[in-house]
Amino acid sequence: MPSLSPDLEFARFCPILGVAQKVSEAPQPVIDLGVGVPGFLPAPHIVEAAVRAAHEDTGGYGASRGDPALLKAYLGYLRRLGHTHFDERNLVAGLGAKHLLFSVLRAIIRPGDKLLVSTPCWPTYFDIAELVGADVVDVRCTAHSGYKMSPQALEQALDEQVRVVLLNSPGNPTGAVYSAEELLGLAQVLRKHDVWIICDDVYQRFVYDMDSCPDLLTVAPDLAGRIIKIDSVSKLYGMPGWRVGLLAADRRIADAVTTLNSNSISNLPAPAAAAATAALEGDQAFSIAARQRLAGQREALLEVLRGAPLLRFCEPAGAFYLFLDIGQALGRSFRGQMIGDDESFCDVLLKEFGVALIPGSFFGTAGHARLSYSGDAGKVLAGAERIKTFLGEFA
């Protein structure tokens, strides 16, 4: 039997999608607070744009950089955020932010290069790094700093091999949002080091006390040549399955990712591109209303969990996740069974109470679990009550 490439022999299936698979195979109905989907659907004008594009299909391939109308719509989105230094040649569309992150790292990483992330972070960063051959430098952040990396910690972790620094604000899984001052502090360090800076901004508009959170490009425009901004319609417009992500960066990066597109996906499906264009250009009211609903849901959830035993958490400022510190529950017994780590905590919660969470160790921070509160309000609160009951039975 011929073997696989060693790169794939050890690669793991995306662990969050692995939990989704467990949920779909569970014998009983599950309240799924694991998967990070936005919990609302795109508005009718978006779906209609996709249908129109399918009817107008001429049977050809599309542009590898991205449909010009989509890139124009993204440029408009960036301009509304105040980013005026890009033109269409700086932009590329991909099959979601995940695909673009893969392509960017594939384009940048050379043997021996390192990717710096702060943990807890989205597990895909580790897995893509592994697939493109980058070592990960992991700056461990705690609740004490609101799960945010300080300029000092960044400075200490940067060495000659670090070629890319990845920032994600609001962050998955903690909902931590960097203030403009905090980003300025990081920028002062980044200015001194010749590294690319990937800003994973897929949750930039998921903040609850402003329309969008500050980003590095705004506070440090002098770093624009090195910043790779990654956006997505998945969360903002309720379109995770449509697979449209967007990137703005230096032309060399944009051209390299376009070349990768041309040799892998060729182009985005036209209906998905047309839908994303309509989402970016059309009426934003449904997206704003969905985010307002989530803000209310967040408050109600925090209210329930504040009274839960053995639980600690930082109140998130953005995204739609709550990162639960379950450390006090570990090492105790539940119905005679010792719960030793976050994975067994999540497994027992799923099996006994029908609630799915994602173990914190998947995000590089053991002793925690991620809760996504974007789903149906009643289910989120019912799930939170079950977590409380579960913790109440620990002896």
Binding site residues, ligand PLP, CB under 6 A: 36, 96-98, 122, 168, 172, 200, 202, 232, 234, 240, 245
Least gap, CB of 166 to ligand PLP (angstroms) = 10
Least gap, CB of 83 to ligand PLP (angstroms) = 19
Least gap, CB of 36 to ligand PLP (angstroms) = 4
In terms of CB distance, is 101 or 162 closer to ligand PLP? Answer: 101
Cα-flanking dihedrals φ and ψ of residue 46, to 5°? -75, -45
In terms of CB distance, is 237 or 394 closer to ligand PLP? Answer: 237
Q: Which residues contact 294 (CB under 8 A, 6 or more apart)?
A: 39, 206, 208, 320, 373, 374
In terms of CB distance, is 277 or 339 closer to ligand PLP? Answer: 277
How far from 164 is each of 109, 147, 192, 364, CA to CA, in Å? 8, 20, 14, 18
Least gap, CB of 61 to ligand PLP (angstroms) = 22
Burial 283-302 (b: 16+ CB within 10 A, else e): ebebbeebbeebeebbeebe
* Ordered alpha helix ranges (H), 205-321: 216-219, 251-263, 270-281, 285-306
Least gap, CB of 330 to ligand PLP (angstroms) = 25
Instruction: For tokens 């040799």, name the residue.
Output: 263
Integer Cα distance of 362 and 258 in angstroms: 31
In terms of CB distance, is 20 or 308 closer to ligand PLP? Answer: 20
In terms of CB distance, is 217 or 391 closer to ligand PLP? Answer: 217
Q: Are strands 91-94 and 245-248 parallel, antiparallel or unpaired?
A: antiparallel
In terms of CB distance, is 133 or 240 closer to ligand PLP? Answer: 240
Least gap, CB of 20 to ligand PLP (angstroms) = 11
Q: Of all residues in this chain, which one has the CB nearest to ligand PLP in the complex? A: 96
Integer Cα distance of 387 and 383 in angstroms: 6
Sign of the Cα torsion 197, 202, 207, 213 reads positive
Residue-level length of the chain? 395
In terms of CB distance, is 164 or 202 closer to ligand PLP? Answer: 202
The verdict on whether omega for the bond into residue 6 sits within 30 degrees of 0, i.e. cis, is no
Least gap, CB of 383 to ligand PLP (angstroms) = 19
